[in-house]
Chains A and B, each alone.
Chain A
Amino acid sequence: MRRPHPSAALRPVFFCLALVLALLAPGCARQTGEPFPVAAYLNAPDNLQGNRYTLEAEIDAQLEWREGTGRLIAVRPLGTEPARLPVFIADTLGANLMVAQRYRLELTVRRGGLLYVNALRKL
């Protein structure tokens, strides 16, 4: 009898690991690009419409919540001048947010300057 290759025993482990990663990949933020320009946004939010940014911020307060739609959250950007920015986090993201938690947010500047969070990851 042919003696199995030692790496063959690890194949199911790698497979499972790959599967888990594949399953977790959509809910995790991915570093997609440039950081969010807070000052530019505060001065002229219309100029940033349609852009996608990454923002690391701390949860400051929940401004409004509408069940089935999502919530408006005020966050404080990390590493920049003190400011508070409103972001929308859809319920579909299934995030559990609490004040003072820090997240990396992948967001899009939508019409009207709405910072729409596409993905987030706790830091």
Chain B
Amino acid sequence: MRLLFLLLALPFCLASVAPAQDAGEPAAAVAAPTKAAKAAASKAAATSAAPAVPATASGAPKSAAESALNVLGTGNIESNTLLSIINKAFDTDSDAFNPEEGTVNWKGHTYNVGQFRVFRARFERYLGQPESIDQDVYRAIVNEIFNLLSTRTGEAAAENTRKAWQLLYRASEFESDGGASLSIANEVFNAWRIRDEKEAIGVTQAELDRIRRQQQAAVSYSGDLIAKEGANVVSNASSLPGISGPTTNVNVNGASGAGATKGNTQGNQPASGSSSALSGSATAGPVAQFFRTRDLAETEAKIKASEGSAVITGIAAKLQFQSTLVTLFLQRRFQHCLIAASFYRYIFKGSAQSIEPKLKKEISTFLPSSDLAVTVETLEFLSREAMNETESSMQGVRASYADGQLVAALERLQESFFLGEFLPPVAQFEREKKQVLLNLYKQVDEARKLADLKDYDAVDKLVAQIGATAKDFRTSEVTSALRAAQRMSTLSLYGAQQAAASGDFARAQEGIQRAAGLWPLNPALKTYTENMAQQVDLGSQAAVLFDDASKRGDFRRIYDQRSELAIALLSDAVRGPQLKEIIERISRVEIYLAQAKELEAQNNAFAAWEALDAACTLTPNDVIVNQRRADLAPRVAAFVGRVDSAKRQEAAGNEAAALTQYLAAQGLYPASSLARTGIERVSALLLDELTAAAALAPARPATEAK
């Protein structure tokens, strides 16, 4: 019951007493009141402690950093080593943003910023996001928190820490905070609560220790008394008259017991207990001694359990807080990491600054050496460096923007965003500048997509627009690359056309595929394919047309469409040569027609007619030739009649009659080649016949003699 009473009374004792349990902890750390714990349940209550003096945006972290250095001591070997290592770790050349994999590589560590689409969406959202009107208020709150947590104000650390803790609840109400401040506040409250529990355990342990000492004294006294009583019984048994002996002994012991009682009386309650135990012991026997011994053992066990609980609670609190620190760091909430580190410093003693081994692995990639002792200070330095780098990077963004180098500004802003997305320099970037960069971002993205689609014309136009906006955009390089691709495509197409013309269709197909691969929207390719389609269409029609006209002897029609037919029947092994022969024949007819026209003009009707007759032998059914012959016939009717008669007689085998007619025709037109050739031809035939007949002549007389 007494123990239960003590446990119930413990919180009230803590409210009035603030003992410094740990040597390394500031006294303010224990000032977290139970009332504040109640206030943690309600943010509204906490927000009542608004900052009285807003600090500048950069002033607070800087002063915090200076304070941290002061705490460490700039001449400290450990601190110099740490700075050196951090400088090595902060190799700016190793920074890289990989949008393809959606990662940011910073100081050797790769932040996974999610899928590329998510990254794009986040960055585009940032660019399109208007400036928050609450941003200044939020920044002021955060700066006030930094000021309150600064080690410069160490003399009022307890009160300042409490105020800073309350401001965390106000800061968490802002959207840009993302609830990080609330996480820290909860963690601080949790640490305080665990500390309270630990203190209560300490009080309990003290009380249990006092009880144990009393129990030890009682057990010891009772044991001695029982031993003496046992010795008196033995002596009385040996000498009966010594009945007053025990009384004397009791008195003696009572004197010594009174001394003990006196000592105990200096305490408070246990004195009476001891007295009762002592008085009781005079009457208690071995059974009472057994119970006293058992109580002592129970007290011993409770003390051991309390000690173990205190150790476990302390480790759990530290581990939980450090987990929050590492999580904030890995989430790139560097400001909150600094705030949490400051709280940590006030809450936990100096010997508890090392990061637990379980968490070291998470941040080991930031450090070049695995032998480095990773502490909370390490996280502070890394966070501060990230903030500084974001700040300088944003200065670079502004400088590039001012110079009109928008591409460089966009690239730097992208890198800055993914390192310091939640830091003030990135959040404070002006809306109108972000809008310009967003337009550029979209244009570049669209150009990239169009380039993927190989729509070079559209890329060309877009690149010209981008180049007009951003003077550092490499327009000439892009344009020359486009021209090269377009040229290669066109050359491949020409090669394909030549291959097709030479009948190498496999190579032609390969060339067309290559041309289409280089530039699918090549206008020349489109024209070529359309022509090819027309040629295929004409090819099927051309064969029908050619066969029909050829069958009717209408070579003129074939000749008139020779260009189309030549292309269409180019690959036709049968009709191709026939077409060529017909074209050559009609070409000669055309020459005869021109010649006849000239001869007519010279009033040489016979010669003109002969030219038309030569043309007619080439194309008997040619309408133009026959029409011209019909026109000319009346003027050369006699000549034509003789020639015609000669041809008929020649055809009938009457060479002599044919020769007569040819001679008659020649009489009409002595220069006639028709007559001349006819005479020569028929004369030869006639003499052949006569020669043959003469060879047979010797046999004839014999026949006639019969």
Contacts and interface: CB of A to CB of B under 8 A. Distances in A.
Most chain A beta carbons < 10 A, residue from B654, B660, B686: B660
Nearest to A43: B645
A113 B683 contact: no
Interface in B637-679: 649, 653-657, 659-660, 663-664, 666-667, 679
Nearest to B661: A42
A82 interface: yes
A42 B659 contact: no
A112 B663 contact: no
B659 A72 contact: yes
A109 B433 CA distance: 121
A56 B314 CA distance: 161
Contacts of B656: 45, 86, 110, 112-115
B663 to A, nearest CB: 4
B276 interface: no
A82 B657 CA distance: 17
Given A64-B683, A83-B664, A88 B690 contact: yes
Contact of A86 (B653, B663, B691): B663
B687 interface: yes
A63 B664 contact: no
B684 interface: yes
B137 interface: no
B656, B664, B666, B680, most chain A CB atoms within 10 A: B656
Contacts of B655: 112, 114
B687 A42 contact: no
Contact of A45 (B654, B667, B686): B654
Contacts of B691: 66, 68-69
Interface string A35-57: 00000011001100000000000
Interface string A57-80: 000000111101110101000000
Contact of B654 (A69, A72, A113): A113
Contacts of A28: none
Contacts of B660: 41-42, 45, 85-86, 113
Contacts of B694: 68-70, 90
Interface residues of B, number: 22
Contacts of B666: 84
A68 to B, nearest CB: 7
B366 to A, nearest CB: 120
Contact of A69 (B659, B667, B680, B690): B690
Nearest to A110: B656
Contacts of B680: 64
A83 B691 CA distance: 27
Contacts of B649: 113
B700 to A, nearest CB: 14
Given A84-B664, A84-B667, A63 B690 contact: no
Contacts of B663: 74, 83-86
A45 B657 CA distance: 7
Interface in A83-123: 83-86, 88, 90, 110, 112-115
A46 B654 contact: yes
Contacts of A70: 687, 690, 694
Interface string B301-332: 00000000000000000000000000000000
A50 to B, nearest CB: 14
Contact of A82 (B667, B679, B688): B667
A89 to B, nearest CB: 11
B623 to A, nearest CB: 34
Nearest to B657: A113
A86 B666 CA distance: 12
A69 B687 contact: yes
B667 A83 contact: yes
Nearest to A86: B659
Interface of B: 649, 653-657, 659-660, 663-664, 666-667, 679-680, 683-684, 686-688, 690-691, 694
Q: 7 tightest CB-CB pairs across the interface, nearest first?
A: A64-B683, A114-B656, A113-B657, A66-B687, A84-B663, A112-B654, A69-B691
17 contacts: A41-B660, A42-B660, A45-B656, A64-B684, A70-B687, A70-B694, A82-B667, A85-B660, A85-B663, A86-B660, A86-B683, A88-B690, A110-B656, A112-B657, A113-B657, A114-B690, A115-B656
Interface of A: 41-42, 45-46, 63-66, 68-70, 72, 74, 82-86, 88, 90, 110, 112-115
